[in-house]
Chains A and B, each alone.
Chain A
Amino acid sequence: MNLQPVIVDNDDILCFLINKLLKLSGFPSPIWFLSGGDALERIKKEQNSDTTYAIFLDINMPEMNGWQFIEHLESITFKSKYFIYIITSSVDDRDKVKAYQYKSVYNYYVKPLKQNDFELLKKSPELRPFFK
Chain B
Amino acid sequence: MTEDKTPLNILFVEDNPGDILLIQDYLDEYFKKAHIDGVTTFAKASELLLLSNRTYDVILLDLNLPDKEGDELIKAVLEISKNAPVIVLTGYTDLPFMVSIIKKGVYDYLLKDEISGFSLYKSILHNIDRRYFREELQLSSKRYSNLFQLSSQPIIVFNSKTFAIEEVNNAALVTYGYTKEEFLNLKKIDLYYEEDLSSFVGLPGNKLNTKEKSNRGYKGVFRHIKKNGEVIFVEVFTIRLGINDQNISVVIDVTDKLNYTKAIENQNKKLKEIAWMQSHVLRAPLARMMGLIELIKINKDEVSEEILFYLEEILKSSNEFDTIIKEISQKTSLIVDQ
Q: Which residues of A contact B (CB under 8 A)?
A: 11, 13-14, 17, 20-21, 24, 59-60, 88-95, 110-115
Contacts and interface: CB of A to CB of B under 8 A. Distances in A.
Interface in B257-297: 275-276, 279-281, 283-284, 286-288, 290-292, 294-295
B325 interface: yes
A1 to B, nearest CB: 30
Given A91-B279, A91-B329, A94-B333, A17 B295 contact: yes
Contacts of A20: 295
B326 interface: yes
Contact of B288 (A13, A59, A110): A13
A88 B279 CA distance: 10
A89 B333 contact: no
A38 B143 CA distance: 81
B75 to A, nearest CB: 84
Scoring A13, A60, A90, A94 by chain B CB atoms within 10 A of each residue's CB, the highest score goes to A90
Given A24-B298, A112-B287, A89 B280 contact: yes
Contact of A112 (B275, B276, B294): B294
Contacts of B333: 92-94
Interface residues of B, number: 21
A19 to B, nearest CB: 11
Contacts of A24: 298
Nearest to B282: A89
Nearest to B280: A60
A93 B284 CA distance: 16
Given A91-B325, A115-B298, A13 B279 contact: no
B329 A113 contact: no
Query: 5 closest A-B pairs (Cβ-Cβ)?
Result: A111-B287, A112-B291, A92-B279, A112-B290, A89-B284
A89 to B, nearest CB: 4
Nearest to A60: B280
Contacts of A59: 280
Nearest to B333: A92
A89 B325 CA distance: 11
Interface in B285-338: 286-288, 290-292, 294-295, 298, 325-326, 329-330, 333
Contacts of A14: 287-288, 291
Given A24-B298, A112-B294, A114-B294, A91 B283 contact: yes
A98 to B, nearest CB: 13
Contacts of B286: 89
Contacts of B294: 112, 114-115
B325 to A, nearest CB: 7
A14 B290 CA distance: 11
A116 B7 CA distance: 105
Contacts of A13: 288, 291-292
A90 B330 CA distance: 11
Nearest to B332: A92
B322 to A, nearest CB: 9
